[in-house]
Structure 1
Amino acid sequence: MHRIGYLLSDGFQIMALASQTVFEMANEVSGEPVYGVENFSMHGGEVRSSLGLPVGTRKITPRTAMDTWIAAGVTTPLTLPPPAEALAFLRRASTRARRVAGICTGGFVLAEAGLLANRRATTHWAYARDMQRLFPDVRVEADRIFIVDGPIWTSAGMTAGLDLALAMVEKDLGAELARSVAHKLVMHQRRAGGQSQHSEMLDLAPKSDRIQNALNYARKNLNRPLTVEELADEAHLSPRQFSRVFTQETGQSPAKAIEGLRLEAARLMIETSRHSLEAIALETGFRDRRHMREAFMRGFGVPPQEVRREMRQEARNQV
């Protein structure tokens, strides 16, 4: 049995516990208890989440041993540092456990313990710059869902903890079972670790249904040219009105927004499929591979080949 220990402290973010459902569903899909999950704290007893919800925990003792330790983050990592005894424990545990992880701002706990020194790591996007400033020896990659660097795992914020846990299940039990778990959890897709934390649709955040409908239409038809006239028709506006309202509501021109949607779709295909870059370019509405490369350089600062190379390297690191 794989034994998973969650390290909690007062003020922990309750979303971290949602990832435990991944291991629960893995047991259900497997038909046997392949995972045992327990909550721990340094002194045991009730620990209160940032919401105020009390959670019972077991006390950590010198004999406490787990296959995997997962440190939960707090909602205010800069003003609520982890207890020194918890840091000392994690340093000891890292020499005995198979892997140690930090969910969301739990990465700060690992960094404080010195476990991220000279390693790649990620955290909630809102705190990535703070992590890099406070821990200059950590190679912070802010735009990642989760990162595996040897035995140390870190995830981005909130729901990314589910992706990290699902990746652990895949490593332990195989891709097919992990897909079944994702299906049980009604997860739209299993996000790869290198996938961006940000959603272009969320960033645009239009205020009206008519602009949202136009964006939904665009996302479903990225594989062909999209004109302002076509999108305006979906929004039941004249092209001139549409451009003005669109820019007012999203802060971007229609052309810029559509390029962002194309980039997001292309990056996801590069990360999760084996299609050629030429095929991905055409499928996501770029004229050709060269046109997609130019857009990638503008949007991400790296060419598509580098994104694919990073994903393959990350996959090798997880083996």
Structure 2
Amino acid sequence: MPSPAPRLRIGFILAPRFTLCAFANFVDVLRLAADEGDRSRPILCQWRVLSPGPDPVPSSCGVRVSPEEPLGDPKRFDYVVVVGGLVDEIERLHPDHTAFLRRAAEAGVPLVGVCTGTFILHRAGLMNGYKACVSWFHHEDFLHEFDGLVPVSDQIFVVDRDRLSCSGGASSAHLAAFLVDRHIGPAAARKSLAIMIIDEAMGAERPQPGLPLELTTPDPLVKRALLAMQQSMEAPLGVTDLATRLGVGRRRLERHFADALGVTPREADRRIRLAQARHLLARTDRSVARIAAETGFCDASHLIRTFREAEGTTPEAWRAARRTMS
């Protein structure tokens, strides 16, 4: 008896130095939805890596992936997914890839940008008039690259008609699950995520974890400082220690924060830790005391006091209100 025709066919274009985990998460959701159990036969879903030549494509971690088919006719796919990676490398996409993407758009094939794949679609002129999702980490890079276009960086993915985009990483699994749900069914999507030890499918509107958007900046020194704050959240650095780690004087660091963000380093650190506390309150059942310890507050009372000043309510009341609305 012949196998049923696939309900979801995906063509992948991998940019030089693409993000391996974003590609692997997307593919594994398809793989697990395509067959019964975990036998990995591409029955209900099919996916192919496309390239104009046979050379393997290097990922940002050095692992290389070999293409499986030439570019050919884009209409043989239900979606064409572009997986990006290092921002400095996206200009190296082969011109035949760009021409293929334009043919796909002309043929009405939906295009998907994963990680900085959205940058690639924009550079090809294929995102004009569409909303686009970009990781908070690349928000300023996108604004610098594309004047006048403001990306969505407070959601994990965006679906705007025949353009889909996601921030990369784990969010690519959720975008893939969205497509599986749409074309195969919710049971297949839930099964894929469950086998991947992902609790539930996240909707597009789920906020990205990361730095608050009001703290995004092109200033390289401030960006380094913000990332250092994020990495030392459980044991916050004093401003002097932070400046020493970055190899600059305290006054210089404070001037850069004032010019770039209009806040002190201490206030920026407080906002980062509050943002993570809100994330944990919304996404977990952890106690306020545990969240306080994980986000660098002295104790639960310190977190409650700071949280009330920022939100006008206690952490537990904020959590309960969020769950009532969802």
- Whether TM exceeds 0.5 here: the answer is yes
What amino acid does structure 1 have at the position aligned with 2:100?
A: F
Amino acid at match of 2:33: A
The answer for the alignment partner of 1:54 in structure 2 is 64
Q: CA RMSD in A?
A: 4.1
Aligned equivalent of 1:102, options 103, 113, 119: 113
1:285 to 2:317 alignment: yes
Q: Does 1:15 align with 2:15?
A: no
Does 2:51 align with 1:41? yes
Q: Identify if the C-alpha distance between structure 1 residues 98 and 287 changes in structure 2 by more than 3 Å, giving closer, same or farther.
A: closer
The match for 1:317 is none
Question: In the alignment, residue 255 of structure 1 is paired with which amino acid?
Answer: I
Alignment partners' CA distance in 2, 1:147 and 1:217 = 24
SS at match of 2:67: strand
Q: Structure 1 residue aligned with 2:233, among 202, 205, 216?
A: 205
Change (3 A) 1:173 1:282: farther
Shift of 1:138: 3.6
Q: Which amino acid aligns with 2:297?
A: F
Aligned to 2:133: 122
The alpha carbon displacement at 1:96 in A equals 2.5
Q: For 1:23 and 1:261, how far apart are their aligned partners in 2? A: 42
Report if the CA contact (8 A) 2:157-2:204 is conserved: yes
Listed as ranges, the matches of 1:62-81 within 5 Å are 62-63=72-73, 65-75=76-86, 77-81=87-91
Q: For each residue in 1:50-97, what CA deviation from the matched residue of structure 2 results, as whole angstroms up to 9, or x when unmatched?
A: 22222110353443532211101122x145413333222211112225
Contact between 2:307 and 2:315, CA under 8 Å: does it hold in 1? no
Matched length? 250
Structure 2 residue 104 is matched with structure 1 residue 93:
yes
**Alignment-mate amino acid for residue 11 of structure 2:** G
Residue 35 of structure 2 corresponds to 28
Task: Map residues 236-251 of structure 1 onto 2, 5 A cutoff.
Answer: 246=297
The equivalent position to 2:285 in structure 1, one of 212, 216, 220, is: 220
1:149-164 alignment to 2 at 5 Å?
149-164=160-175
Deviation at 1:146, TM superposition (A): 0.4
Structure 1 residue 9: Cα displacement = 3.2
Identity %: 21
Q: TM-score, normalised by structure 1?
A: 0.65
Name the SS for the 1:142 alignment partner: coil
Q: Distance in 2 between matches of 1:126 and 1:80?
A: 16
What 5-or-longer segments of structure 1 have no aligned partner? 209-214, 236-242, 264-280, 293-303, 309-319
**Mapped partners of 1:176, 1:261: distance in 2:** 41
| Aligned AA (1:16) | A
Deviation of 1:7 after TM superposition, in Å, equals 0.4
Stretch moving more, 137-146 or 187-196: 137-146
CA 54–191 in structure 1, closer or farther in 2 if over 3 Å, else same:
same
Whole-angstrom CA distance in 1 between matches of 2:181 and 2:88:
33
In 1, are the aligned partners of 2:304 and 2:314 still within 8 Å (CA)? no
Q: CA deviation at 1:193?
A: 0.8
Q: Which whole-Å deviations, capped at 9, do the CAs of 1:115-160 have from their partners, x for residues lacking one?
A: 1112111122111222133223544111110000111110013111
**Residue 266 (structure 1) aligns with:** none
Question: Which one-letter code corresponds to 1:140 in the other structure?
Answer: P
Which TM-score applies when normalising by structure 2? Answer: 0.64
Contact 1:45 1:59 in 2 (8 A): no
Equivalent position amino acid for 1:254 in 2: L
Secondary structure of the structure 2 residue equivalent to 1:58: coil
Given the alignment, which residue of 3, 12, 15 partners 1:6?
12
What is the deviation of 1:260? Answer: 11
Distance 1:142 1:161 in 2: 14
Partner of 1:254: 303
User: Aligned AA for 1:164?
Assistant: L
Instruction: Please say which of residues 169-178 and 145-154 is displaced more in the overlay.
Output: 169-178
